Amino acid sequence: MYLLFADESGTHGGSHALVIGGLAVHEQDVQALQRALDRCVAQPLKLGDVDDYELHATELRNAKSGPGRPPSPWSFIDRARRLAILESAYQVIDTFQPCTPDLPLALFGVILDRRFHSE
């Protein structure tokens, strides 16, 4: 069985596009992939517990805090380090070797036009 992680691109004022991207990983590889991604965060930040540091590309690129919302833990990490962590995570996904070569990771993306309505 494959497990799926999917995320949408968020809200962008004026844009008609909605982008959904994802990764499907076979259940036997989930823990190994999670450990490798956790190391991308834990090693450069010298952390034991990375539960508060979710890997969201937008947040890593532009970690913001503001009124009415709690600060992102990433907002306390300098941008160059955040971008290096993001690049490291991309590298892990790109080079990940599954337990069974016939059951590789699958990446996907879909772009939808919000204005489209099928009759």
SS3 string, 51-111, reads CCCCCCHHHHHCCCCECCECCCHHHHCCHHHHHHHHHHHHHHHHHCCCCCCCCCCEEEEEE
Q: What is the pLDDT of residues 42-86, one digit of tens each?
A: 999 988 888 889 898 888 998 876 677 788 899 999 999 999 999
What are the residues whose beta carbons fall under 8 Å from the beta carbon of 109, sequence distance 6 or more?
A: 19, 20, 21, 22
Task: Assess if residue 119 is contained within a domain.
Answer: no
Task: Assess if residue 29 is contained within a domain.
Answer: yes
Give the pLDDT score at 11.
67
Q: Could you list the residue range(s) of the whole structural domain that residue 54 is in?
A: 2-113
Q: What is the pLDDT of residues 4-38, one digit of tens each?
A: 999 887 666 778 888 899 999 999 999 999 999 99
**Domain count of the chain?**
1
Q: pTM value?
A: 0.83
Give the pLDDT score at 64.
77
Bridge partners for 108 per DSSP: 22
What are the residues whose beta carbons fall under 8 Å from the beta carbon of 7, sequence distance 6 or more?
A: 20, 21, 22, 56
Task: Assess if residue 118 is contained within a domain.
Answer: no
Task: Assess if residue 64 is contained within a domain.
Answer: yes
Task: Assess if residue 55 is contained within a domain.
Answer: yes
